[in-house]
Amino acid sequence: MLLPLSERTKNLISKLENFMDDFVYPNEQLFDQQIKEMENRWTIPSIIEELKEKAKQAGLWNLFVPREYGEGLSNYEYAHLCEIMGRSLLAPELFNCNAPDTGNMEVLMKYGNDEQKKQWLDPLLEGNIRSCFTMTEPQVASSDATNIQSHIVRDGDEYVINAKKWWSTGAVDTRCEIAIFMGKTDPTGPRHEQQSMVLVPMNTPGVKIIRPLTVFGYDHAPHGHAEIHFENVRVPITNLLYKEGKGFEIAQARLGPGRIHHCMRAIGAAERALELLCKRASGRVAFGSPLAEKGVIREIIAESRIEIEQARLLTLHAANKMDQEGAKSARKEIAMIKIVAPRVSLNVIDRAIQVFGGAGVSEDFPLAAHWANARTLRIVDGPDQVHLRDIGRLELRNY
């Protein structure tokens, strides 16, 4: 890769790869089995807690914490780790590096006051509780943030919240204790100053988890994606994050690093799929020779390698630009990887599924689950169309 990595980062990469080999891949099937056998699908299987403990001991914990809040890694450095974690759907949580908690922790680090940090950030950093982020709404096209209809109305020392939200990832998890809630405090204000963010403990009266949603048939237990209704939910005004009217700004700030993480994980998933594809092709015989010796299989392997290399370089480039010049300056690059990485990941995984045949769409290999995951990336944080529009507009600014 172009820019050299620090010794510390190389060391973390090596440790992380070993951890994946020793503890993650061998336990993927066990995780699925434990989930199936749980009485309550939304509680955590024991293997997760065991492996979290091991990861802490191995010094592979909270790797995402940005440099600005401690002795963390740069985005460029962390991106390399993120790719490795993305190879298994199981992995990110083991290192306390899973969405949406990482984004929520970053928000708390950057915009939370001391009291908020103590109450919510600390246990999140410990991995003792989980959190969710409630922004998307079922009744409007939420890619246009100004469409948001949720109300946050001040009443004395309290905010009164009424809203219907969905796709609140992690909210079904029984360990989820806190939601970062986005709604409008000033529906008639300037377009990007109407919104605010408020901390809402999940056990506040009126917070109702309506149902878990599925993604291509997967419920993603134990975390899940919830439809949540907020009915006259009251929280003290001290639960406001930062300032009123800053919801959009916080949301934007949350997105930058989050997109790097999503994209590098997607690339990790693609790399894993290509590895599985190559192994399968080497071992299966049809019409007289191993699949790996057939020209059409070699071409899809080559196309996959080409796509992955380019997506990785672009994502690392975006990460580095964000490190050097800030998220705003890297806006075009970040929009580009949001298009490219999921697309490449879907392509490669789909090719692997095709080579695996029926096994590819089943639970016997992680391909179908990775595919469903990657497919949602073309929607979350704004659909492809919104990002392409942005890139086009930024490009045209020069003319």
Site residues for its own copies, 193-232, by CB under 8 A, read 213-219
Count of residues of this chain found to bind its own copies when the rule CB under 8 A is applied: 88
Tokens of 81: 């780790």
| Out of 59, 70, 138, 189, the residue judged to bind its own copies by CB under 8 A | 138
Stretch that binds its own copies, among 40-48, 91-99, 236-244, 328-336 (CB under 8 A): 328-336
Rounded distance, CA 299 to CA 394, Å?
Answer: 35
Q: Compare residues 154 and 389 and give the one whose CB is closer to its own copies.
A: 389
Query: Cα–chain-centroid distance for residue 127?
Result: 16
Q: Compare residues 77 and 244 and give the one whose CB is closer to its own copies.
A: 77
> Does the protein bind its own copies through residue 73 (CB under 8 A)?
no
User: Closest separation between CB of residue 1 and its own copies, Å?
Assistant: 8
| Out of 142, 185, 194, 196, the residue judged to bind its own copies by CB under 8 A | 142
User: Closest separation between CB of residue 69 and its own copies, Å?
Assistant: 25
> Does the protein bind its own copies through residue 393 (CB under 8 A)?
yes
Q: Compare residues 176 and 374 and give the one whose CB is closer to its own copies.
A: 374
Q: Compare residues 62 and 194 and give the one whose CB is closer to its own copies.
A: 194
> Closest by alpha carbon to 167, among 191, 190, 136, 193?
136
Q: Compare residues 51 and 182 and give the one whose CB is closer to its own copies.
A: 182
| Out of 11, 14, 46, 282, the residue judged to bind its own copies by CB under 8 A | 282
Dihedral, CA of residue 273, residue 8, residue 3 and residue 62, to nearest 10: 60
Letters for 89-108 (x = contact with its own copies by CB under 8 A, - = none) are --------------------
- Restricted to residues 299-318, the positions that interact with its own copies (CB under 8 A) are 299-303, 305-306, 309-311, 313-314, 316-317
Rounded distance, CA 202 to CA 180, Å?
Answer: 10
- Restricted to residues 158-197, the positions that interact with its own copies (CB under 8 A) are 166-167
| Out of 298, 325, 328, 329, the residue judged to bind its own copies by CB under 8 A | 298
CA distances to 12, 121, 237, 288, 360 from 199, in Å: 34, 12, 9, 63, 41
> Does the protein bind its own copies through residue 147 (CB under 8 A)?
yes
Question: Exposure of 139 by Cβ count < 10 A (0-12 exposed, 13-18 middle, 19+ buried)?
Answer: exposed
| Out of 38, 140, 153, 209, the residue judged to bind its own copies by CB under 8 A | 140
Rounded distance, CA 325 to CA 120, Å?
Answer: 30
> Does the protein bind its own copies through residue 329 (CB under 8 A)?
no
Q: Compare residues 107 and 148 and give the one whose CB is closer to its own copies.
A: 148
**Side chain identity, residue 350:** D
Residue 178 parent element (H or E): strand 176-184
Q: Compare residues 175 and 332 and give the one whose CB is closer to its own copies.
A: 332
Rounded distance, CA 324 to CA 150, Å?
Answer: 36
Main-chain dihedrals φ then ψ at residue 37, nearest 5 degrees: -95, -5
Tokens of 101: 């908690």
Rounded distance, CA 381 to CA 254, Å?
Answer: 10
Q: Compare residues 57 and 287 and give the one whose CB is closer to its own copies.
A: 287
CA distances to 97, 119, 129, 137, 355 from 188, in Å: 37, 33, 36, 19, 55
Helix (H, G, I), strand (E, B) or coil at 82: helix
Stretch that binds its own copies, among 114-122, 232-240, 247-255, 329-337 (CB under 8 A): 329-337
Letters for 335-374 (x = contact with its own copies by CB under 8 A, - = none) are -x--xx------------xx--xxxxxxx----xx-xx--
